[in-house]
Amino acid sequence: QVQLVESGGGLVQAGGSLRLSCAASGRTFSSYYMGWFRQAPGKEREFVAAISASSAITKYADSVKGRFTISRDNAKNTVYLQMNSLKPEDTAVYYCAGSREYLTGTDYYARRMYDYWGQGTQVTVSS
């Protein structure tokens, strides 16, 4: 069993930056594919970014490409989401997710491919 705990959310003005962290328990973190999803009020949870176990592959939603960067430190069992140039439409609860599967292609974007989820951290961007 893996537990994921997000941190780093908060209130920021448009154009500002935040860095989210997701700390994972367990010895097999380095073999997991990791992702970030978000859910705004009244909307479905949507894919934001993902990273392969080795960090060789990263994927981004079009809405965040060029502004957000996902990274991981396997020695610290932690995955990060650096968010720059934040917009009010980025306001949401951000969830960290982990997958035991070998992800390819569109797998990265699918919620059903992720086995473990954190409790979420609120990000609010004011205009």
pLDDT tens across 11-67, in order? 999 999 999 999 999 878 999 999 999 999 999 999 999 999 999 999 999 999 999
Q: How confident is the model at residue 109 (pLDDT cuts 50, 70, 90)?
A: very high
Q: How confident is the model at residue 1 (pLDDT cuts 50, 70, 90)?
A: confident
- The per-residue pLDDT for 56 is 96
Mean pLDDT of the chain: 96
**Which of 103, 84, 81, 110 has its CA nearest to residue 94?**
81
Rg over CA atoms, the chain: 13
- Quote the strand ranges of 1-127, DSSP E: 4-7, 10-13, 18-24, 33-39, 46-51, 58-60, 68-73, 78-83, 92-99, 116-117, 121-126
CA dihedral 63→108→16→39, nearest 10 degrees, is: 80
- The per-residue pLDDT for 64 is 98
Within a 10 A sphere around the Cβ of 37, how many other Cβ atoms?
A: 24
**Which of 27, 56, 41 has its CA nearest to residue 93?**
41
Tell me what percent of the residues of the chain surpass a pLDDT of 70.
100
